[in-house]
Amino acid sequence: EKYSCGKPDCTVGCDCDRYIEVWNNVFTQFEGDGKGNYTTLDQKNIDTGMGLERLATAVQDVESIFDVDTIRAIREHVSKISGKDYKVKHEWDVSIRIITDHIRSATFMISDGIIPSNEGRGYVLRRLIRRACRHAKLLGINEEFLIPLAGSVIKSSKVGYPELEDKKSMIFNVLKEEESKFNKTIDTGLQKLNELCEKIERNNKDTVRGKDAFMLYDTYGFPLELTIEIVEEKGYKVDVDGFNEAMEVQRETARQARKETNYMGADATVYEKLDTSLKSTFVGYELLDNESKITALTSETDVVYELNEGEVGTIVVEDTPFYATMGGQKGDMGTISTENGKFEVTEAIKLPGDKTGHVGKMVSGKIKVGDYAKLKVDEINRNSTAKNHSATHLLQKALKLILGDHVEQAGSYVDGNRLRFDFNHYQAMTPEEISKVENIVNEQIVRGLNVITSEMSMQEAKETGATALFGEKYGETVRVVAMGDFSIELCGGTHVSNTNIISSFKIISETGIASGVRRIEALTSTGLMDYYKDLENTLNEAAKEAKTTTNDLVAKIASMNEEIKAVESENEKLKAKMASDSLGDALSDVIEVSGVKLLAKKLENIDMNELRNLSDSLKEQMGEGVVVLVSSMPDKANMVVTATDGAIDKGAHAGNMIKELASLIGGGGGGRPNMAQAGGKNPAGADDVISKAKEVLNNQIK
């Protein structure tokens, strides 16, 4: 009764929280056909489920899950940081509960290997963190707060979830980076949103336009849900449909920007015209060549009956040894030949309806539908691709060992030349980490691990511990690739039979491509040999230019750098002397403008850096006042204005002076009260600057 709202009809389903579902049972006994007809199931069952926190609420006899011991500790920490007590003000309570819930969820998600991103589960995590940050602002929390709260989550839950303590460093790093990023944009974004709401009010509207909500999302990182929440608090709403339309426009633009036409420019829509009953069976795990019947042909624009010499198009056959581009592996290259013609395959691609398209060009004769053809995969390219693909599996496992279990594939690409692997990680790898990963991969190559592929049920694959791509759709039967006792993954690609075939492995770059996503590019085998040959050629060329040997090149470069520094130092001294000489007795040109000294001087061929140095020197010699220097050069002019503290106190402002004077030399500029600079393309205006400087300064003096 103590939780009742007091209404006579208060019962289950009332908006007050008197009744909370803790546990439910669903008795499944009928099957519906969608037309209102039900038949009794042969195997009836009971589906049961309970919420752990809600059960704890009942067992501990507390009012809500926020009063359960482990969660209460986090809630109390939020109150301590914010200085806002719980159960004092409704608005405070809402924010305290949101922060408590979201930091708890975020901490567990990160420990599971999820990294904030702009899509999928990473986007859910980002939304939770940013919503927590926003409510922290409402509570007056302006310092970093996520890490201390995450510490409370770990402390209160580590007994049941020891992995939280193990991954504490990673959790803290991810939260720190995400909070820092959001804080850089949230203030500007909130200001922009407030301006939008003020505009709505002025125009007697009640809705934030979809494109404006999308601008906040795209530019300032505001999740739509956060914008809706803030706007609704002000009594307005958001055009969600308009937001979705703007989002789709951007996605379509991105699709068009990254859309790769098939080789020779074939239109992908051609493939939609193919007979849907046609299928292709892949036999390329065992074979690199075979004979098969040609079942379909396309040109660049249409389905055709035959292809002739010089024409480009796509061939579909019944059985093919060509691996089609998928799973990050580029499709095979090779040839398709008949008695009357030869077709060069530049890439095999996956077509709708379980068909493989062999894209390329007729190099001789002609071929037609119904012909029997000999298909031959480029063995060298296939083997090189297999080496790179197998190395990618070794790389992923090595990254997990060095960086942590949060590492998860975010994309990959392998072909016969190199491999590219994108993965979740919150910061750039150090040179030491890169070296350790390389060493591990090369150790596994040297070990000569047998690579075993097998097909099994998804459940069996899970029991082996095979790594699967999150979000990837798998059938009931999956292909598992195991490399000794080191790596086991679900994969449909082509691989070496033993890791020593890979020969060698080298990471050539590690970069960031998105928030929380890193990219490694690497080489193996002959690709790595070619890379080293190119480096050797470059090294030899550099040694030749430096007139030394490759062994002495580093010492020679160090010596040359010292010589260059000495020459540059001497050059700077000469330039300073020339500039000083060009001034002559500059102080004799000082005039007084309304009680403030002014030195305005025109010089010739002095660069901006030296102009600043001269200005500082003259200002020091003057003691108090304003210095205006303009240097005329053949095709441009530079200008510097400096002012002392005493001159500034009387109204002088170097930045404002230069704004008025810069137009005379055909340029623009600005700066602080004590120093400003400008550049322009009209050196003829230098004399006008000197003439007008007195007038501009006089207008500033109080």
SS (H, E, C) 615-666: HHHHHHHHCCCEEEEEEECCCCEEEEEEECHHHHHCCCCHHHHHHHHHHHHC
pLDDT of 265 > 70? The answer is no
Cβ pair 348, 332 in contact under 8 A = yes
> In a 3-state reduction of DSSP, which class is residue 142?
coil
Other CB atoms closer than 10 Å to residue 627's CB: what's the count? 29
- pLDDT at 190 (0 to 100): 80
pLDDT tens string 30-84: 888 778 888 888 888 888 878 778 788 788 878 788 888 888 999 999 999 999 9
Q: Containing domain of residue 65, as a range? A: 55-205
Instruction: Please indicate whether residue 512 or residue 334 has the higher confidence score (pLDDT).
Output: 334
pTM value is: 0.62
Asked whether residue 645 is domain-assigned, the answer is yes
- Distances in whole angstroms, Cα of residue 618 to Cα of each of 367, 443, 600, 610, 670: 85, 66, 11, 12, 20
CA–CA distance, 117 with 133 (Å, rounded to integer): 16
Tokens (6 digits) for 536: 């050797």
The 3-state secondary structure of 158-183 reads CCCCCHHHHCHHHHHHHHHHHHHHHH
Residues 405 and 521 in one domain: yes
pLDDT of 306 > 50? The answer is yes
Cβ pair 569, 577 in contact under 8 A = no
- pLDDT at 579 (0 to 100): 60
Domain boundary among 159, 175, 205: 205
Residues 303 and 343 in one domain: yes
Phi, psi (rounded to 5 degrees) for 549:
-95, 165
- pLDDT at 54 (0 to 100): 78
pLDDT band at 268 (very low <50, low <70, confident <90, very high): low
Greatest mean pLDDT among 115-124, 465-474, 590-599: 590-599
Asked whether residue 359 is domain-assigned, the answer is yes
Percent of the chain surpassing pLDDT 70: 94
Asked whether residue 554 is domain-assigned, the answer is no
- pLDDT at 582 (0 to 100): 60
Residues 114 and 134 in one domain: yes
The owner of tokens 């299928």 is 279
Residues 69 and 184 in one domain: yes
Domain count, the chain: 5
pLDDT tens string 209-224: 988 988 888 777 677 8
pLDDT band at 322 (very low <50, low <70, confident <90, very high): very high
Residues 274 and 370 in one domain: yes
Cβ pair 519, 422 in contact under 8 A = yes
Q: Let me know if 83 is exposed, middle or buried by CB neighbors in 10 A (0-12, 13-18, 19+).
A: exposed
Residues 74 and 34 in one domain: no
Residues 516 and 589 in one domain: no
CA–CA distance, 99 with 97 (Å, rounded to integer): 6
Span 389-416, average pLDDT: 93
- pLDDT at 266 (0 to 100): 47
Residues 64 and 197 in one domain: yes
CA–CA distance, 227 with 189 (Å, rounded to integer): 10
Residues 344 and 291 in one domain: yes
The contacts of residue 17 (CB under 8 Å, 6+ apart) are 3, 64
Cβ pair 191, 230 in contact under 8 A = no
The owner of tokens 């006008």 is 688
Asked whether residue 447 is domain-assigned, the answer is yes
Asked whether residue 82 is domain-assigned, the answer is yes
Greatest mean pLDDT among 104-108, 166-170, 425-429: 104-108
pLDDT of 346 > 90? The answer is yes
pLDDT of 471 > 70? The answer is no
Residues 118 and 17 in one domain: no
pLDDT band at 470 (very low <50, low <70, confident <90, very high): low
Q: What value does the mean pLDDT of the chain take?
A: 88
Cβ pair 604, 631 in contact under 8 A = yes
Asked whether residue 155 is domain-assigned, the answer is yes
pLDDT band at 6 (very low <50, low <70, confident <90, very high): confident
Q: Where are the alpha helices (DSSP H) in 448-497?
A: 458-464
- pLDDT at 335 (0 to 100): 97
Span 596-618, average pLDDT: 87
Asked whether residue 239 is domain-assigned, the answer is no
Residues 498 and 601 in one domain: no
The CA-based angle 334-337-341, given to 5 degrees, is 125
Residues 65 and 190 in one domain: yes
Asked whether residue 220 is domain-assigned, the answer is no
> In a 3-state reduction of DSSP, which class is residue 532?
helix
CA–CA distance, 25 with 45 (Å, rounded to integer): 10
46 half-sphere exposure, CB direction, 13 A CA radius: 5
